[in-house]
Amino acid sequence: MQTLKLAFLFSWLTIFSCAQRPKEEKAKLNWLSLEDVTAKMQQEKRPVLIDLYTDWCGWCKVMDKRTYSNKQVSDYVTSKFYPVKIDAESKKTFTWKGKEYNFNKNARAHDFAIWLTNGQLSYPTTVFIPVDGDPQAIPGFLAPNELELLVKYFGEGNDKKISFDKWHKEFKSSW
């Protein structure tokens, strides 16, 4: 009898562990180049969100998979920002607001990445550039609900109305 109960329990657990869970809706963020953003800014001013990454960064890949592929993140970022993905070790020349940035051999990083992070390189780093403001770099992996706090702060212009500390205390995540 004991063996029968254990067999039944084992079978039941196996069935439930193999049952399909509803999949989270995946989305693909349409990343733009800096050149595209410069052209689009002529038509419509928006803040810029930059995903600063490297090819060897494991957490950058996790953030792509878990955060930027989240439908709510993708929809919101696409509607409020110009999203740009930049390899911090790229050898390509970048032009931003009329200034050219190149790869810095001594730092083994791109001068644009160094400028965006004020020399505090870390990967991944999410950088927000308000329409008429300076880059605000947020280092480290951000889950969708953590990114929500930031994208809604900058995406809705709250950075011009309220301190981040006050925003953070009052913010209620919906993602």
The tens digit of pLDDT for each residue in 48-95 reads: 999 999 999 999 999 999 999 999 999 999 999 999 999 999 999 999
Q: Is residue 175 in a domain?
A: no
Boundaries of domain holding 106: 23-170
Secondary structure of residue 18 in the 3-state scheme: helix
Q: Is residue 6 in a domain?
A: no
Q: Is residue 146 in a domain?
A: yes
pTM for the structure as a whole? 0.83
Count the domains in the chain.
Answer: 1
Q: Domain holding 63: CATH number?
A: 3.40.30.10
The pLDDT value given to residue 160 = 92
Q: Is residue 144 in a domain?
A: yes
> Which residue, 74, 73, 52, 46, is CA-closest to 130?
46
- Answer yes or no: is pLDDT of 4 > 90: no
> Which residue, 59, 119, 118, 49, is CA-closest to 86?
49
Q: Is residue 18 in a domain?
A: no
Q: Is residue 110 in a domain?
A: yes
